[in-house]
């Protein structure tokens, strides 16, 4: 499964002004059925490049096609998404 352009637009809308909390995760899960959705701390993602950065959170695309997950910049390889708060870990 990949992330369609329409889903990216929906994610942009959902993540603008959102916080990295359970409510946001639930909203993202509804927008991306079939994809893995998780939250990470900012410190855990410090060496990764976000796919998109919003006011309060950053969006990372996860490629889980192989044995180990890796962050990708290509929505056609994304099997999931991760969000992390911007700034220090919370």
In whole numbers, what is the pLDDT of the chain averaged over residues?
Answer: 90
List phi, psi (to 5°) of 9.
-65, -40
pLDDT of residue 90: 45
How many of the other CB atoms lie within 10 Å of CB of 60? 22
User: Would strands 52-53 and 36-39 be described as parallel, antiparallel, or unpaired?
Assistant: unpaired
24-37: pLDDT as tens digits: 999 999 988 888 99
Give the start-end residues of each E strand in 17-79.
36-39, 52-53, 57-63, 70-72
Which strand (E) or helix (H) includes residue 85?
A: strand 80-85
Residue 58 has pLDDT above 90, yes or no: yes
């Amino acid at each position: 499964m990949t992330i369609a352009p329409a889903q990216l637009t929906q994610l942009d809308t959902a993540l603008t002004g959102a916080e990295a909390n359970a409510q946001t995760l639930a909203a993202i899960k509804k927008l991306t059925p079939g994809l893995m959705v998780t939250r990470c701390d900012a410190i855990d993602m410090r060496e990764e490049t976000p796919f998109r950065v919003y006011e309060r959170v950053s969006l990372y695309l996860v490629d889980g096609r192989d044995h180990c997950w890796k962050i990708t910049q290509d929505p056609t390889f994304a099997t999931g998404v991760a969000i992390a708060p911007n700034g220090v870990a919370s």
